[in-house]
Amino acid sequence: MQRLARVLRANGGFLFILPGLIVYLGFIAWPIIATLYNGFFVWDGISPDREFTGLDHYVRLLTKDRAFRLSIRNNIYWAIITVVSLSIAGFLFAWLLNQRIRFRNTYRAAFFLPVTASLVVIGYTWEFIYQPEVGMLNHTLRELGLENLTRIWLADPDVTIFAIIFVSLWASLGFWVVVFLAALQAVPQDLYDCAAVDGATGFRQMWHVAVPLTMGTTRALWILGLIRSINAFALVFLLSRGGPYHASEVIAYQIYDLAFRTNHTGYASALSVLLLLISAVVTIFQLLLMRGRRVQL
């Protein structure tokens, strides 16, 4: 008994972390290892038989798979458009909502309202808005005499991905505005007063005072935006199923389609590994960007 007591005292810290370690190994580490392993086989995800193919899946992904190239392109579009647009629009709206204007709290609530809605609700709502015949968007364009601008928004290869990205912008803007607003409210009023004494008002105060002092928050939002762009899935699934002809497919949806609809689990595993590598590159970029800098939220 004394020996057992000594062992427990010596390993008490390990025993405390053991439950969390078991969960980590079972639900994070093991699935990653299994995915790496499955990426070297042709496997349907059900049959016990597997055919070893080595690096064939990766060679095919990088050299022959048109859908994968389209997915990469769409994820890049998603990242650039969302990060740039939300950075500019989010900061400008936050700046306006930080001024002393009538119904300011009402406007703040209106901006944040989409963030509280389920993505399923948002997806089906915008699917109705984008309907070619009875949808609100095409109906409004026809009423304005702009019928030549009407589109089959969720079935046109040239515009579908951008229509989905716009929904993502609409759903995410409120979050960016609220975070920027919190950062702006943390800027001391004395700095604005000093800038006003020096002759800086309006735009100059925003550019020379607010923008530099909220840059830590901006960098943090860039990182969150990049990660969210890499993992984009729900809106594509709800609005277009990756179509037409893979035109709106993103990497996460392609993995889902390969693994659960066409039963190409081995190929989907190889694609998952590539997505993991892309995420790792973004994480390294994040560490380099934030090194030695304090994130302000």
CATH code, domain with 123: 1.10.3720.10
CA dihedral 235, 238, 244, 250 (to 10 degrees): 40
Residue 26: inside a domain: no
pTM: 0.89
Please give the residue range of the domain that contains residue 227. Answer: 64-290
Lowest mean pLDDT among 210-214, 240-244, 259-263, 291-295: 291-295
| Domains of the chain: total | 1
State whether the Cα torsion 75-80-81-82 is positive or negative. positive
Residue 18: inside a domain: no
Per-residue pLDDT, averaged over 204-225, amounts to 89
Per-residue pLDDT, averaged over 100-127, amounts to 90
What is the rounded distance in angstroms from the CA atom of residue 30 to the CA atom of residue 173? 36
**Confidence class for position 9, pLDDT limits 50, 70, 90:** low
- Please provide the average confidence, as pLDDT, over all residues in the chain: 88
pLDDT of residue 292 exceeding 80: no
Q: How many CB atoms are located within 10 Å of the residue 8 CB? A: 10
The pLDDT of residue 296 is: 43
The pLDDT of residue 293 is: 55
Residues 6+ apart with CB under 8 A from 256: 233, 237, 268
